[in-house]
Amino acid sequence: MERLFLLLEKNYEEMVAIRRYLHERPELSFEEVHTPAYIANFYRELGLEVREGVGKRGVVATLRGGKPGKTVGLRADFDALAIQELNDIPYKSKNDGVMHACGHDGHTATLLILARCLTEMREELAGNIVFIHQHAEELAPGGAKAMIEDGCLEGVDVIFGTHLWAPTPLGTVLVREGAIMAAADRFEIVIQGKGGHGAEPHHAIDAVVTGAQFVTQLQTLISRRVNPLNPAVISVGHFEAINPFNVIADTVKLAGTVRTFEEEVREQIIEELELLLKSVCLGAGATYTYNYYRGYPPVVNHPQETAFVAEIARDIPEVDHVKTCEPFMIGEDFAYYMEHVPGTFFFTGAKDPCWETAYPHHHARFNFDERAMLIAAKTLGNATLQFLQKNR
């Protein structure tokens, strides 16, 4: 491990340079062109086997070791978000309205430099490593499922992934056996009333009032219908009625998200959300359309692989704490990989110790301590080498 750690430290400045280069050139989910081309060219220069256009936009590179053995998959995502960056930094996004506001630029830089260092150790490797660079993590249906269908996991025995996590202090690694991230679904609703003059509500069916009643009552699904021992979240993020101030709206559009861990709870909410909507609209004399879109399933870590990463993370000099975290209600399509092969997904703390607070992920001022990339690379690299060594 010492040789790998020294190589990573030697290449750390380039890791930072790659991250900043990508940060200046963010690309939205399913619109990535420059980023996958950059990644593929990097691997070609390393002399690895490269597949482009995997699942349409993904990149897969394979490093074959000098000795026979198992195959480890390592995954990083590379898409950005539709956010106008507000950070005043030298490497600020050059693409208006698009920003790496979740750390995927760091994930990509981490895996590229880790790949370079492991390539230098090729003859020592007892097995193979598949580097999976995934597009479109941020937008369902995501890139993972399509990449799997296109063969990115063929021959892979185990998979590891990490997320640089700005709310958690640098030097902390968060792990959890079982469900660590939630299923992330979306719903869209249109409530159809009857428009009218603001001074004559008795001649109208107010879609705004009907929508407001629905949103208010929606939380009773969580507080009174779902078993309180089963975590669930419903949030309405969009409520739209475009009307002059003195006109009663005939139409309201709503959209929101549902987060669950248990499939039974997920099915319950899908059904009861519409029952509630139907009853509210019936009472108001309104009609509705309801569309529910299943997003990513929960990220469920395998016990053996999670315990393994927790153990080897303690060998990283820069890691001060390895903690079992509470489940997160956020979603991740890394879930699909672990439906096919055993693995684990962990969080690498990325909050600068000098910061009093860190801006959250998906914020226009999001950033992270770049030293976290080195910790992530060492942890993923250590897990890879030790897995291959133990399974020769």
CB-based contacts of 300, cutoff 8 Å, min separation 6: 178, 179, 180, 335, 338
**Whole-structure pTM value:** 0.94
Structural domains in the chain, CATH included, are 2-182+298-390 (3.40.630.10), 183-296 (3.30.70.360)
Residue 357 has pLDDT above 90, yes or no: no
What average pLDDT does range 258-284 have in this prediction? 97
Distance CA 323, CA 172 (A): 7
Beta-bridge partners for 175: 324
Name the strands in the sheet holding 287-296, side by side, starting at the edge strand that comes first in the sequence.
232-240, 251-260, 183-192, 287-296
When pLDDT is averaged across residues 258-272 and rounded to a whole number, the result is 97
Q: Is a pLDDT exceeding 90 seen at residue 280?
A: yes
Q: What's the pLDDT at 4?
A: 97
Between CA 373 and CA 164 the distance in angstroms is 7
Give the pLDDT mean for 232-257: 96
pLDDT at residue 196 greater than cutoff 90: yes
**Catalytically active residues, by annotation:** 79, 137
Whether 59 contacts 36, CB under 8 Å: yes
Position 203 pLDDT exceeds 80: yes
Residues 370, 65, 124: CA angle, nearest 5 degrees = 80
Q: Which residue has the tokens 């684990």?
A: 344
> Does the structure show a pLDDT above 90 at 39?
yes
Rounded percentage of the chain residues whose pLDDT exceeds 70: 100
Q: What is the mean pLDDT of residues 196-208?
A: 96
Report the share of the chain in percent with pLDDT over 90.
99
Residue ranges of the binding site: 102, 104, 138, 163, 362
Can you tell me the mean pLDDT for 54-78? 98
Structure tokens at 232: 């669930």
Residue 280 to residue 234: CA distance in whole angstroms:
17
* Predicted confidence (pLDDT) at residue 46 exceeds the cutoff of 90: yes
Question: Stretch 370-375: mean pLDDT, rounded?
Answer: 98
pLDDT category of residue 23 using cuts at 50, 70 and 90: very high
Q: What is the pLDDT of residues 118-158, one digit of tens each?
A: 999 999 999 999 999 999 999 999 999 999 999 999 999 99
Q: Is the pLDDT of residue 204 over 80?
A: yes
Annotation: binding site for Mn(2+): 102, 104, 138, 163, 362
Tell me, what's the pLDDT at 1?
Answer: 75
Q: What is the dihedral of CA 214, 219, 220, 221, to 10 degrees?
A: 100
Q: How far is Cα 373 from Cα 133, in angstroms, rounded to an integer?
A: 16
Strands 67-77 and 158-169: parallel
Task: Round the average pLDDT of the chain to a whole number and report it.
Answer: 97
